[in-house]
Amino acid sequence: MTVIIDGKACAKKVIEELRKKTKNLDKKPSLAVILANNDPSSRIYVASKERQCLDLGFNSCVYRFDENIKQQDLIKLIHELNENDDVNGILVQLPLYKHLNEQEIIELINPKKDVDGFHPINVGKLNCNLEPWAICCTPKGIIKLLKEYNINLVGKNVVVIGRSNIVGKPTATLLTNENATVTLAHSKTKDLKEITKNADIIISATGKAKLIKANMVKKDAIVIDVGISKQISGKLVGDVDFENVKNVASYITPVPGGVGPMTIACLMENTYELFKLQNQKA
Ligand code: NAD
């Protein structure tokens, strides 16, 4: 029988662990979030990050900007947050307004406060299989989900679809570090079906609704759906044709309720880990 992977339950476990670890602390972990775009989805994500901080008793501060914000203003703010000992994690919600230079902003964040793990130093550490100060939240959440369900990754044939710096590439790197055999597919890949048909595990992160059909999936494969697309009706769907693929897969994540909750749980975990790092006694 197909197992529907319960991302909400797994995320709750991570959150409750954090609650135990942090409830008696004198000082609480603290997250600063910068929102400089007018993308409605970003507003929803930022609001849920704020809610989760509140629920855990973490401090959170959201800096919201309209499109008159200048690159220099953001640079100044990042410097201030880097210097502020009361801020443990800095998150820049992407994308930024088109006139802003995202990469310059990400590279200015102190890597020890880079809660999203996007700074080149953290990306480089991940690539070298050294311990980054923080690992990108969605990829980290995917690995945690697989481990929670005791899915063995060693030697498994895994295809990751999507090569973004925030999901696809770091997911492929983490899986490689876990000794899986990884293929990274993308929009220019020829004959995706030929690749997915041979995969023990498929992880799709494209944002193309129902890209992964049942005839692209090997019997009893494990299917992780990262994609989120909004249909005209307002309903959120993933990259996977869930209703049909679930009859072929052995494990599958739903959308919503799969990878999404793990992303926020891992963000809270990263905030706590950076807090610990910055409060270590010499
Ligand atoms: P992106 O647009 O930066 O990257 C999409 C990738 O998909 C690209 O590398 C592209 O080459 C690939 N792609 C597009 N069409 C393809 C096709 N037909 N075949 C193969 N590859 C194709 O997006 P992203 O930021 O990596 O996010 C991907 C999806 O995951 C989006 O739907 C996003 O909303 C979602 N997402 C979800 C979470 C979560 O917590 N669940 C977190 C981050 C992103």
pLDDT one-digit tens code per residue, 18-31: 999 999 999 999 99
Which of the listed residues 91, 96, 142, 164 should we mutate to test ligand 1's pocket, taking the one with most ligand atoms within 8 A of CB? 164
What pLDDT score was predicted for residue 280?
A: 87
Pairwise CA distance, residues 256 & 125, whole Å: 31
For atom 3 of ligand 1, which residue has the closest CA? 164
- The mean pLDDT value of the chain amounts to 97
Assessment of whether the complete model's pTM goes beyond 0.75:
yes
77-115 burial string, b = 16+ CB within 10 Å, else e? bbeebeeeeebbbbbbbbebbeebebeebbebbbbbbbb
Q: Please tell me which residue in 28, 93, 156, 225 is annotated as part of the active site.
A: 93
For atom 18 of ligand 1, which residue has the closest CA? 187
CA 247 to centroid of ligand 1, rounded, Å: 24
What pLDDT score was predicted for residue 183?
A: 98
CA 202 to centroid of ligand 1, rounded, Å: 14
What pLDDT score was predicted for residue 282?
A: 57
Query: Is 147 an annotated catalytic residue?
Result: no
Per-residue pLDDT reduced to its tens digit, 173-204:
999 999 999 999 999 999 999 999 999 999 99
What pLDDT score was predicted for residue 159?
A: 99
Query: Is 103 an annotated catalytic residue?
Result: no
Query: Is 49 an annotated catalytic residue?
Result: yes
Q: Please tell me which residue in 28, 49, 113, 169 is annotated as part of the active site.
A: 49
Pairwise CA distance, residues 230 & 185, whole Å: 23
Pairwise CA distance, residues 202 & 224, whole Å: 6
β partners of residue 159: 183, 202
Strand-by-strand arrangement of the 3-4 sheet: 3-4, 251-252, 222-225, 201-204, 157-161, 181-185
Tell me if residue 29 falls in helix, strand or coil: coil
For atom 30 of ligand 1, which residue has the closest CA? 227
* Protein residues whose CB sits closer than 6 Å to any atom of ligand 1: 138, 161-164, 166-168, 185-187, 189, 192, 205-208, 211, 226-229, 259-260, 263
For atom 1 of ligand 1, which residue has the closest CA? 164
Cα dihedral 43, 57, 60, 164 sign:
negative
Which residue is listed with tokens 């790197």?
173
| Phi, psi for 182 (deg, rounded to 5) | -110, 135
β partners of residue 110: none
